[in-house]
Amino acid sequence: MNQPIKPPQAVSPLAVTDPKIRVMLQLAGLRFMITRANWLISEATILGKALKAGDMTSEEVDAKLEEMGALDLCYPELMGGGE
pLDDT, tens only, 4-62 = 676 666 666 667 788 899 999 999 999 999 999 999 999 999 999 999 999 999 999 99
The pTM of the full predicted model, rounded to 2 decimals, is 0.64
pLDDT score recorded for residue 59? 94
- In this predicted structure, the answer to whether residue 82 has a pLDDT above a threshold of 60 is no
- pLDDT top residue among 57 and 82: 57
**In the chain, which ranges are continuous DSSP H helix?**
19-53, 58-68, 71-74
Q: How far apart are the first and last CA of the chain?
A: 43
